[in-house]
Amino acid sequence: MSEPAAGNTGPGAEKGPGGAGYGLSGSGSGEGTRAVRAGLPKPVKHEPALPGPVFAAHFHLPGDPTGPYTYGRDENPTWTLLERAIGELEAPGRDGVETLVFSSGMAATSSVLFSQLRTGDAVVLPSDGYQALPLVRAQLEAYGIEVRTAPTGGDAQLEVLDGARLLWIESPANPGLDVCDIRRLVGAAHARGALVAVDNTLATPLGQRPLELGADFSVASGTKQLTGHGDLLLGYVTGRSGEAMAAVRRWRKIAGAIAGPMEAWLAHRSLATIQLRVDRQNATALTLAEALRGRPEVTGLRYPGLPEDPAHTIAAQQMRRYGCVVSFTLPTRARADRFLDALRFVDDATSFGGIRSTAERRGRWGGDAVPEGFIRLSVGAEDPQDLVADVLRALDETAD
Ligand SMILES: *Cc1c(COP(=O)(O)O)cnc(C)c1O
């Protein structure tokens, strides 16, 4: 067992309950082993393994106001442990990497974009990314930042990179599941002096480690498969540059986009089972995709783990697991609605990554460029045979 904990040498590294981290570094341990211990403090007699949430707006602070814990908008010991844990999964064994947690994935996303970009800068965003990005785009443009977009598949970002300050990648993209060659795009962006951020929400750090692929930031929603129970919102940024991360930290402070201690603690507790959940859910997602590919009413089936998927070759180069989301299109909106209604083990709900399967007709939101019958299905931890049987039965029962 090695220490101090890998992955977090920022201001949070030297503090927190139990002092130096007790997590395992990248070498000599598997991901499951790392996950169950990630971010834990050193064992202390009569203390719990994972200290409970610290509810504090302020901390006792006589004399000069020095850190680590002064005011609850700046730092909280429950965040410190979670940030260390996420850092150990996103960048095992890497020095000089820092993780910051936020109240949501969008808070984390906004913290990078709005702390790194200035009036007159140009940024490249995916045209097929998360549905709140168009809102972000409008806000960036209102601040005089030039926004260029490119689709995720086919590395089309290369054509609009010249003069950009930041390249924002979402791979796999939600909900269309296209993938781009992160290493290649990072190389091209760095050669032009641009920073690269990767939205790692869909892959999770067990599926893909953007910093190892050269990215400057890995940004994600912790609301989805990272925590996996559909009971909290959270976000994080892991970054390699101290200067850039200081700006992200400053943005968190001035926007006040902080995680509640209860959410942070729940997230840390859930992180211990990430390997179990991800392995189970992703294996079933592949089984389900295989079962769907023979169905005549299903078109546009996408799962990056399917060997014939257009994204598979690049995904296999840079991902170690392919996610729990399968997307496909049914012939009509009415058919898609009937199908969703007929499912017994799959809830009609948005979001993804939870241990209970969910699905939705994505077009109902109006934000994504998808057909009316497009379904995004998030595979949970049910028995694979139950889930596959349920989906196939719902298709059979709702045939025209
Ligand atoms: C959900 C999601 C977000 C936003 O996360 P929230 O926690 O809902 O704010 C960002 N990117 C992707 C790819 C997502 O799926």
Q: How far is the CA of 4 from the centre of ligand 1 (A)?
A: 31
* Backbone CA torsion sign across 135, 115, 207, 31: negative
Predicted confidence band at 28 (pLDDT cuts at 50, 70, 90)?
low
Q: Any residues with Cβ below 6 Å from ligand 1, and which?
A: 104-106, 109, 130, 170, 174, 199, 201-202, 221, 223-224, 233, 235
pLDDT at residue 4 greater than cutoff 70: no
Q: Does position 23 have pLDDT exceeding 60, yes or no?
A: no
| Cβ atoms of residues 37 and 22 within 8 Å | yes
Per-residue model confidence (pLDDT) at position 21: 45
Cα torsion 89, 8, 165, 248: sign: positive
Distance CA 206, CA 346 (A): 24
Instruction: Say how far apart CA 350 and CA 364 lie, in whole Å.
Output: 10
**Angle 384-397/274-292 helices, nearest 10 degrees?**
40
Q: Does the pLDDT value for residue 217 go beyond 60?
A: yes
Which among 102, 104, 106, 111 is the best mutation to test ligand 1's pocket, defined by most ligand atoms within 8 Å of the CB? 106
Q: Which whole number is the average pLDDT over 197-226?
A: 98
**The pLDDT of residue 2 is above 60:** no
- Domain positions in the chain: 31-271, 278-397
Give the DSSP letter string of 188-240: HHHHTT-EEEEE-TTT-TTT--TTTTT-SEEEEETTTTTT-SSS---EEEEES
> What's the CATH number of domain 278-397, 3.90.1150.10, 3.20.20.80, 3.30.1370.10, 3.20.20.70?
3.90.1150.10
Locate the ligand 1 atom nearest the alpha carbon of residue 106 and give its number. Answer: 9
The Cα–Cα gap between 319 and 316 comes to: 6
Q: Which of 8-17, 246-255, 358-367, 368-377 has the highest mean pLDDT?
A: 246-255
Q: Which residues pair with 98 in a beta bridge?
A: 239
**pLDDT for 10 beyond 90:** no
Is pLDDT of 15 > 90?
no
What's CA 298's distance to the chain center, in Å?
28
Task: Tell me the mean pLDDT in the region 129-149.
Answer: 97
Cα separation, 256 vs 258, whole angstroms: 6
Percent of the chain with pLDDT over 70: 93
- Please give the pLDDT value at position 27: 52
pLDDT at position 367: 79
Average pLDDT, the chain: 93
347-356 average pLDDT score: 97
Please report, in angstroms and rounded to a whole number, the separation of the first and last CA atoms in the chain: 60
Q: Which atom of ligand 1 is nearest to the CA of 201?
A: 13
Which three-class secondary structure state does DSSP give residue 16? Answer: coil
Examine the pLDDT at 268 and tell me if it is beyond 70.
yes
Q: What is the mean pLDDT of residues 252-276?
A: 98
SS3 146: strand
The CATH number of domain 31-271 is 3.30.470.30:
no
Pairing, β 358-361 against β 347-348: parallel
Nearest atom in ligand 1 to the alpha carbon of residue 170 is 13
| Best mutation site among 133, 169, 174, 368 for ligand 1 pocket (most ligand atoms within 8 Å of CB) | 174
Reported pTM: 0.93
Which of 29-33, 79-83, 250-254 comes out lowest in average pLDDT? 29-33
Alpha helices in the chain (DSSP H): 31-37, 77-90, 105-116, 133-142, 182-191, 242-255, 261-271, 274-292, 312-318, 333-342, 384-397
Rounded Cα–Cα distance for residues 5 and 21 (Å): 5
